[in-house]
Structure 1
Amino acid sequence: MENSQGRDILTVTTTVGSRDDAQKLARAIMQARLAACVQVEEGLTSFYRWQGKECEDAELRLTVKTLPGCEAALQALFREQHPYELPQFVAVRMQAGEGYFAWVRGEVAVPEDPRETLGL
């Protein structure tokens, strides 16, 4: 069995309400080099409670493939650019295959300070 230690990637998911918002957020993430890939999935319906009210809305899911060292910078970017007042930010650490990990590592620029990415 191959040793996969040291090949952790981070998958972050969030949702938005429109294709335009999904594209804007995906482009901002990519331009900041905070991900190797952002996948956008349409056709979701979310059922949830918000401020005491039951809601049902069409949404799009963004799945961000990045490195663990980008988590704080992504959270900062979401605070600045995500269209929702309280955006979903669910991060899962995963073991990647050697080739895929090398590609992600080559495409992502892990910031020393998350604020640098946003020019804060």
Structure 2
Amino acid sequence: MSTFIPSDHTGGAAASAAVNGRARLEQADDIVVLLSNAPDMLLAKRIAHVLVEEHLAACVNLGAAMLSMYMWEGVLEGTEEIPLTIKTTVTRAPELVARLAELHPYEVPEVLVMGVSGGSASYLDWCRTQTALNRSRI
């Protein structure tokens, strides 16, 4: 792994701290964040529980209810939803998306996969460990 150094990096004491221990930044082209949502908190918790328990996701953050505005079959809809922010690896993302589709009641659930350019080395390593293929469900 290489060290991720922002382009506006100027060096100094902050630079030495950034490469030591937990504060060290690292590139992370193998980590992705998925955005989705659920129609209510109970289902959001169930989805999060399953994805983490099956080691498809290292972590799922559930946000406060928010209003989503969108067009559905030619009609403007406004629906309260619970946002989900899901962290996993590129390797696990396809299986995670398939499992999310099984758990989700929407005909077209939101699933956006966003690459991660870098992050805390210790957190990235933890994500990789939590989603390792040998930890998957049997």
Q: What interval of TM-score do these two structures reach, taking the shorter chain for normalisation?
A: 0.7 to 0.9
TM-score (norm 2): 0.74
| Structure 2 CA distance for partners of 1:46 and 1:52, relative to 1, 3 Å | same
2:76 is aligned to 54
Identity of aligned residues (%): 27
Runs of 4+ aligned residues of structure 1 deviating over 4 Å after TM superposition are none
1:16 aligns with 2:17: no
Q: Is the 8 A contact 1:40 1:60 kept in 2?
A: yes
Q: Structure 2 residue aligned with 1:103, among 117, 121, 126?
A: 126
| Secondary structure of 1:42 counterpart | coil
The SS at the match of 2:64 is strand
Equivalent residues, number: 114
Q: What's the CA shift string for 1:25-76, capped at 9, x where partnerless? A: 1111012101111000013110100111100011110000111111110111
After alignment, is 58-67 or 73-82 more displaced?
Answer: 73-82
2:41 and 2:61 map into 1 onto residues whose CA distance is 12
For structure 1, which runs of at least 5 residues remain unmatched after alignment?
A: none
Asked if the contact 1:41–1:61 (Cα under 8 Å) also holds between the matched residues in 2, the reply is yes
With normalisation by structure 1, the TM-score equals 0.84
Q: CA deviation at 1:13?
A: 0.7
Q: Over alpha carbons, which structure has the higher Rg?
A: 2
Tell me the amino acid that sits aligned with residue 30 of structure 2. D
2:3 counterpart of 1:2: yes
User: Can you give the 5+ residue segments of structure 2 that lack an aligned partner in the other structure?
Assistant: 5-25
Offset at 1:79? 2.1
Distance 2:28 2:85 in 1: 22
Aligned 8 A contact 2:28 2:119 in 1? no
* Cα distance in 2 for residues equivalent to 1:7 and 1:104: 13
Partner of residue 106 from structure 2, selected from 84, 99, 102: 84
Q: Matches of residues 7-46 of structure 1 in structure 2 within 5 Å?
A: 8-46=30-68
Q: Aligned runs of 1:67-82 on 2, under 5 Å?
A: 67-82=89-104
AA matched with 1:77: R
